[in-house]
A = this chain, B = another copy of it.
Amino acid sequence: MKRSIGARTVLYAHPVLIVGTYDRSMRPNAMAVSWGGVCCSLPPCVAISVQRTRYTYTNLMEQEAFTISIPPAVYIKQADYFGIASGREVDKFAATGLTPIKSELVNAPYIEEFPVVLECKVIHVHDIGLHTQFLGEILDVKIDDAVLGEDGRPDISKIKPLVFDSPTSSYYGIGQFLAQAFVAGKELMR
């Protein structure tokens, strides 16, 4: 039996993305975003949603560029801090001790200590309501050697990304491998 719980942003799985931007004085900032995800394969693009009141919103509008750094579980406190502090009031990199690295491809900083980084240029901006959606074309992905598998592919069990659970405002890790995609369902093909 299903019951209505109202119009809410319940969805699984929400990502935890750390969005890196510069302000007009080239001061680096980073913000946690869970309203986002890939939105196109070719060109490869990602969508992130940010409220107009955020410092990151102004940076995105001015620089038309951002990075996404994937926070590993070991940096969960820093990832959460990026979501509760404002770059308008504090230097979040100084507070966390993390290192901003300027992307060579776009005018935005990424986080050296985080193992997977996307460098993106803004190609579309769409005001929806409380949030504005920024579409970024992914110009490159950079990854630490240490989180590559033996086959040379990014290894999720080494990256240890976070999942955000919106109903309980909690972070979870990634669980067990369950099945191979595009294979598991083949036995239902007639």
- Copies per complex of this chain: 2
Please tell me the size bucket of the interface on A: 35 or more
* Complex: A85 Cα to B166 Cα, angstroms: 31
Asked whether, in the complex, the Cβ of B129 is within 8 Å of the Cβ of A126, the reply is no
Asked whether, in the complex, the Cβ of A41 is within 8 Å of the Cβ of B131, the reply is yes
* Complex: A15 Cα to B2 Cα, angstroms: 22
* Complex: A188 Cα to B83 Cα, angstroms: 12
Asked whether, in the complex, the Cβ of B167 is within 8 Å of the Cβ of A154, the reply is yes
Is A116 close to B, CB under 8 A? Answer: yes
* Complex: A80 Cα to B182 Cα, angstroms: 6
Asked whether, in the complex, the Cβ of A39 is within 8 Å of the Cβ of B35, the reply is yes
Q: Which residues of B have CB within 8 Å of A178?
A: 73, 76, 162, 170-173
Q: Which residues of B have CB within 8 Å of A8?
A: 44, 138, 141
